[in-house]
Chain A
Amino acid sequence: MSQSHRLPQGGLIDRAKPVSFAFDGKRLDGYAGDTLASALVANGVKLVARSFKYHRPRGILTAGFEEPNALVELRSGARREPNVRATTAELFEGLEARSQNRWPSLAFDLMAVNQLASPAFVAGFYYKTFMWPAALWEKLYEPLIRRAAGLGRAADAADPDSYEKATAYCDVLVIGAGPAGLAAALAAGRSGARVILADDDFLMGGRLNAQRFEIDGNSSSSFASSIVAELRSLPEVTLLPRTTITGVHDGGVYGALERVSDHLATPAPHQPRQRFWRIVAKRAVLATGAIERPIPFGNNDLPGVMLAGAVSAYLNRFGAAPGKRAVVYANNDDAAKTVGDLVAAGCEVAAVIDARGDAPALHEAARACGATLVFGRTVARAYGFQEVSGVEVSGPKGDSFNVPCDLVAVSGGWSPAIQLTNHLNGRPKWDERLAAFLPGVTPPGMIVVGSANGEYGLRDAFVTGARAGAEAADSCGFSGPGFQTPRLLPEPEEAYGDGPWRPTIKRGKAFVDFQNDVTVADVELSAREGFRSVEHLKRYTTLGMATDQGKTSNVIGLALMAEITGKSIPDTGVTMNRPPYTPVAIGALGGAHRHKEFKPTRLPPSHFWAEEQGAVFVETGQWMRAAYFPRTGETDWLQIATREINTVRSKVGVYDASTLGKIDIQGPDAATLLDKVYVNAFASLGVGKARYGLMLREDGMAMDDGTTTRLGENHYYMTTTTANAAGVMRHLEFCKQWLWPELDVHMTSVTDQWAQYAIAGPRSRDVVAALVDDGFDVSNEALPYMGATELTVCGGVKARLFRLSFSGELAYELAVPARYGDAMIRAIVKAGEPFGICPYGAEALAIMRIEKGHAAGPELNGMTTGADLGMGRMMSKKKDFIGRAMAGREGLADSARPVLVGFRPVDRSARLRSGAHFLPKGAGNEAANDEGYMTSTAYSPSNGHWIGLGFLSRGSERMGEIVRAYDPVRAGDIEVEVVSPVFVDPEGARLRA
């Protein structure tokens, strides 16, 4: 029978729009406006899940985001999503949901045998079992636990949907769109302030939709929709339904998750599935309401046991009856509303059981509907197979009787939803009268109103909300007419209830935390075993963990512990909450930035040309660099790099060096600044000359290196390594602004301004000569090694030409404005064709620099000094520079420190590996014998065997000695000869050719 529990009328669902969905493969119908939970309720489905540990049958406990039980798997395939709360999932046509944590089926779950073994699964079971023997962990225990435990299954294909991140600013952020939030938003919005109203529900109004009041002569739900309509008409008010504020961060920053398309089968074209907002608010009004608490009693987790407020919500908002014959069990007068709602919906109220003594409002409601009224007694247990069929009521004298029913509406009082007030470490305070935690120190700029502040009355919600909204706007400089509290009927009841926390008679498991299967007995065990503070209680029993973070259970667990230990609740501790308030998918936090768009990609000027050449690229930081340029028939990268190197060393090659950091330095104190940051002198550098420079950190370790050219008296052009460009720029600004503020010098990044190509090889001068315009002389005399000049190329394009070499060959670097970079590389290749030019990539360069013994990233590793790098003599004794003092420390000046030298295998066919450590021949494989380590290795085409660079203790004094390169990780132990780090042209004759 379809929708057997749907009421004939009422509710805020659209009965004209039926929606068909499936639960565990069974086709069911609901209406637009339903949640999955309300549609299941309307169809009389009570059993919806199996519990985490004992696999007990579970139903729907709540009607909101605090739901611990009714977690389902939604959608299928790549969109399959586990642990979706059925109570917040909006129904859409074709929705597929499946119960989880059961096998083979929900009604017949074999894992429920865990219940029989439940003594083994008590609190802390994972600390006690599966411990010995340790050998069984990996093979037996872990796979076993993994199969049995956990909630739901993640999708096993990539998420096909997109996500978005966005930033929003407002004067007033209102969190929660119940009566207090609506009043606050309207009071603030009417002033003209920029207001954002966020609510996790798709229908704004909170309890105005879930409960029945008469407001200004209309239903409370229509009053809510009229306020929402006015808010929508205000241009500076932004409404964010389906949006949960997930975190409060320093400086008035709030995280918010907007479920843009979760209510659709698939997102509309180009629409994100979810959007993660960073909201920057000058003021915030917290109007998150309160969360109802269950009462522990035996089998209080049976499907059909539901919180009273949720029962009202299903009846009033969704026109769905969670049961036909109800028992209401409460410790406060607020449950009177549920009694009234049940009666109004035509449900039978079999009994009203009040744990307190005589209390008028609830009892009045019971009498009015003719229900059996019991007070001063508690429910000992619920009974039934897979769903509730009655309760056993106990009295103080041990007597008891049964009341048959198919629904138990429970209200153990309310806990203000103050989680967000904890996020900046504000500790809540316990209120004895309300038996609840109230906000303590609130985040700066936040006002808490209505039920979230323990002001449960509807009138209080409107009054405190309106006042806070107006005040918040006022403090931002906006004033308006505010919001007048409307005429209300009836005046709501007090909602606070104190206990009973602990069932007087123990019959069956009495659950505190439904999601983690933590029972009253587990809390008692935790106390007995000495885990009595709230933090220990949480870790030992897992109370308050997982997706619901104990929203319905924390206070009960704490109160139980207090009762057991005879302490007060504040003395037992407080539960603190951290972001996120409700679970947030990692995808939403990443937004659009995933896969290849995870980080930006920087393209050098030759990129499009290199693509045309079929280059294989390598990511270097954010840069895409051509690694090598395969030619027809070439498959192996080393074969290709070898061919490129051989061409450079015998003819000529071209390489895009534009990714190097380039900094333009100008000003009367430019030379002074350079002398302070480099170990060597630059004031003495002649105009039109370049010099290699080494920078240290203040602790004496090498930071970066590069060449700097003096373009004019007060004008230098610095290059840095690709990886450190931004860091060096920041360092220079640090020196200029903080260390030596008197300096008159300016740095500007010109990395992207210039396309800079290295043209290297014995024929490079011929190529360059073919490119420069008439009248410019590039001969060795006019432009010697380490010379630089400004000229024009290719018919008037201004360029800078440097006689620099990283490859060790006769070489130039030619820089042109980046817009000409694409044309320039084509022109260079064309001009080089007669000389046999080939482009070379980062792999060839990396090998050639090892052949020349140039230090790079693996050598400038943050642990090496200038002396270690063999540049001790470069360090000026005549001037102060950053790192000078610390580089002179005894430990760093120790002559036994490992220094940079070269290595070649004694067996020339052997392969060298970076990371190997050097041990003396015949010494044991012990750390005590360690003499240094290999940093860079390569197969050298120029030498015909593997070569390496590394740091060896007293290495420069040990030329010709044989040591072992020991690499236990890769089972390597080979003999290597200590040699000069310069494997090609050690005299540097080619550079100066």
Chain B
Amino acid sequence: MPEPLLARSALRAHVAPEIAAPAPGVVLRERTDLTLASVAAFKGREAELADAVRSAYGIELPTTPTRVAAGEVAFVWAGPGKWLATATGPVDFSTLPAAVADQSDGRSVLSVSGERARETLATLIAIDLHPRAFTSGDAALTHAASISVHLWQTDDAPTYEIAVFRSYAATLWRWLVHAGQSRGIDAKL
């Protein structure tokens, strides 16, 4: 009988360097505790899905680029009729009346926070993250210097979470660390 398989992050220090900063302007971490799933409504069954999400999680499915959270679960708008369901810890989204695909391993989620998070991100992400344009609860599908990202803001620290295809995670981490170095980044795996 083979040994049980150990789960591993896509990041390792030699491709995703760690940096300590005493009074960091920006803090970079990986969220390794998230369950993720793409959820897409079937034709004519949009209301059924909305009802199911409402009754299961107490969440009103967003129809604009926003993230609605309740407790451990959140639904992030992911395009018309599509969402990225997230949960802290294991939650089975596959029972929803929709096209559901597990993405818990397909995406790595990086958290970028701190008072210089915005200007650090501005070197990679070309959307306007000024509080007048993007605030806690807002979400966007865009790119970080050509890497597709799905990002949302969770608080006014500000904290941003960036979901990226797993194979790109090390590159994005490295680019964030590079951009953050002049801004006092604290990056820890």
Contacts and interface: CB of A to CB of B under 8 A. Distances in A.
Given A168-B122, A746-B99, A750-B103, A822 B8 contact: yes
Q: How large is the interface on B (under 10, 10 to 19, 20 to 34, 35 or more residues)?
A: 35 or more
Given A748-B40, A794-B2, A818-B166, A666 B99 contact: yes
Contact of A751 (B9, B44, B165, B181): B165
Given A746-B99, A794-B3, A794-B5, A593 B105 contact: no
Given A270-B182, A601-B171, A167 B5 contact: no
Given A194-B132, A752-B107, A754-B105, A600 B147 contact: yes
Contact of A753 (B82, B106, B179): B106
B160 to A, nearest CB: 15
A744 to B, nearest CB: 4
Contacts of B181: 270
Interface in A596-645: 597, 599-605, 608, 623
Residue in A168, A169, A668, A796 whose Cβ sees the most chain B Cβ within 10 Å: A169
Closest 7 A-B residue pairs measured CB to CB?
A: A753-B106, A666-B99, A602-B167, A744-B43, A823-B5, A746-B99, A818-B105
A194 B130 contact: yes
Contacts of B8: 819-823
A830 interface: yes
B128 A752 contact: no
Residue in B123, B127, B132, B166 whose Cβ sees the most chain A Cβ within 10 Å: B166
A668 B42 contact: yes
Q: How large is the interface on A (under 10, 10 to 19, 20 to 34, 35 or more residues)?
A: 35 or more
Given A608-B12, A752-B106, A824-B5, A592 B166 contact: no
A946 B117 CA distance: 57
Contacts of A272: 182
A756 to B, nearest CB: 12
B57 interface: no
B99 A667 contact: yes
A923 interface: no
B102 A816 contact: no
Contact of B179 (A592, A602, A749, A750): A592
A166 B123 CA distance: 4
B interface: dominant SS: loop
A131 interface: no
B2 A831 contact: yes
A166 B40 contact: no
Contacts of B5: 793-795, 797, 816, 820, 823-824, 827
A278 interface: yes
Interface in B13-60: 15, 38, 40, 42-44
A823 B165 contact: no
A194 B107 CA distance: 35
14 contacts: A165-B145, A169-B128, A280-B128, A597-B178, A600-B171, A603-B167, A667-B42, A748-B101, A748-B103, A752-B106, A754-B105, A794-B5, A823-B6, A827-B3
A interface: dominant SS: mixed
Interface in B162-180: 165-168, 170-172, 174-175, 178-179
Nearest to B147: A600
Interface string A805-832: 0000000000011111111100100110
A664 interface: yes
Contact of B40 (A169, A746, A753, A822): A746
B10 A603 contact: yes
Contacts of B178: 162, 592, 597
A794 B4 contact: yes
A770 interface: yes
Contacts of B38: 748
A766 to B, nearest CB: 13
A517 interface: no
Nearest to B38: A748
Nearest to A165: B123
A818 B106 contact: yes
A271 B180 CA distance: 10
A817 B104 contact: yes
Contacts of B182: 269-272
B95 interface: no
Interface string B120-157: 00110111101011000000000001110000000000
Interface string B43-82: 1100000000000000000000000000000000000001
A194 B132 CA distance: 10
B57 to A, nearest CB: 20
A816 B166 CA distance: 14
A726 B123 CA distance: 25
Nearest to B1: A795
Contacts of A599: 146
B143 to A, nearest CB: 10
A200 interface: no
Nearest to A162: B178
Contacts of A824: 5
A608 B8 CA distance: 11
A859 interface: no
A167 B42 contact: no
Nearest to B45: A744
A164 interface: yes
A795 B4 contact: yes
Contacts of A830: 2
B12 to A, nearest CB: 6
Contacts of A591: 123
A167 B122 contact: yes
Given A608-B12, A824-B5, 12 more contacts: A164-B123, A169-B130, A592-B123, A667-B43, A744-B42, A746-B82, A751-B106, A752-B167, A753-B166, A771-B2, A795-B4, A823-B5
